[in-house]
Amino acid sequence: MTSGAGAPVSVVTGAGSGVGRVVARALLDAGHRVALAGRREDALAGTADGVPADRVLVVPTDVTVEASVDALFAAVRERWGRVDVLFNNAGTNVPATPFEDFTADQWSTVVGTNLTGSFLCARAAFRVMREQDPRGGRIINNGSVSAHAPRPGAVAYTASKHAITGLTRAISLEGRRHRIACGQIDIGNAATRMTGRMAAGVPQADGSTAAEPTMDVAHVADAVRYMVGLPLEANVQFLTVMATAMPFIGRG
């Protein structure tokens, strides 16, 4: 199948809730066929609710398991013949923990999902994009403002998101010869269930606790749609979208 034979095909990981759900629905609204990947089938079904069956594919996936990721992309390729976009969004964190108390299991949990999972999904997408006709595609990695500045008690999350920046650059370099573009969106305080705690107050670099402003997660979806809508000859390498007044610029 060529891109001219149907709507673009996008894969969204972490599509069962939060940013992933909102972006997936935005891509569906933009006319894409979308594969929804995540751990919980019921949550993915909620994202797919009301969408015609020929435009959505629900694939329960554990991004930390190589065979599960490979099965996801095999299912997408069998259903629609290609992959035009990967929104590499699946991620996790653990409760804030002082550096000296952070356990190896906590580290492995966060890095395994945020970094290794992103690598496995990007590699699988890259392989499909390299071989399909027409060749090429776009990979968008979900970074974070934590790819630039840490929060207290979040060593694994911070390290994993800094590493996503290196992954993005490496994919961008190696994708050139295959018409594979790769960019990164760094999100700050989008209002989702995960950021609900911001209103109650979160630890600050000076040791205080303070509420932080958030923004509508729809603005993240708008930004991703812009990145996706560019021709492969153009790329947004890095884009930061954040609540204007959040303590990021000048953090600490």
Whole-number percent of the chain with pLDDT over 90: 83
CA gap 25, 3 in Å, rounded: 20
pLDDT tens track for 159-213: 999 999 999 999 999 999 999 999 999 999 888 776 667 777 888 888 888 888 8
Q: What is the pLDDT of residue 146?
A: 93
Annotated catalytic residue within 157, 180, 220, 242: 157
For residue 189, give the nearest of 151, 224, 154, 159 by alpha carbon.
151
Percent of the chain with pLDDT over 70: 96
Confidence of residue 216 (pLDDT cuts 50, 70, 90): very high
Given a cut of 70, is residue 226 above it in pLDDT? yes
So what's the pLDDT on residue 3?
37
157 tagged catalytic = yes
Q: What order of strands is seen across the sheet that includes strand 56-60? A: 56-60, 33-38, 9-13, 85-88, 137-142, 180-188, 238-242
Please give the torsion angle defined by the CA atoms of residues 246, 87, 158 and 212, in that order, rounded to the nearest 10 degrees. 20
* 251: pLDDT strictly greater than 70: no
Taking the C-alpha atoms of residue 110 and residue 131, their distance in angstroms, rounded to an integer, is 32
Residue 54 pLDDT greater than 90, yes or no: yes
What pLDDT was estimated at residue 4?
A: 37
pLDDT value of residue 2: 32
Adjacent-strand bridge partners of 184: 141, 238
Beta strands 180-188 and 56-60, pairing class? unpaired
Find out if CATH 3.30.1280.10 is the number for domain 3-242: no
Average per-residue pLDDT for the chain: 94
For the entire predicted model, the pTM comes to 0.93
Q: For residue 216, what are its two tokens?
A: 């509508």
pLDDT exceeds cutoff 70 at 5: no
pLDDT on residue 252 = 54
Kindly report, residue by residue over 110-131, the tens digit of the pLDDT. 999 999 999 999 999 999 999 9
CA distances from 49 to 28, 62, 88, 219, 223 (A): 12, 21, 22, 22, 23
The lowest-confidence range among 4-8, 87-91, 130-134 is: 4-8
* 12, pLDDT greater than 70: yes
Bridge partners of residue 216, in order along the sequence: 191
Q: Is 87 in contact with 76 (CB distance < 8 Å)?
A: no
Q: pLDDT at position 17, please? A: 95
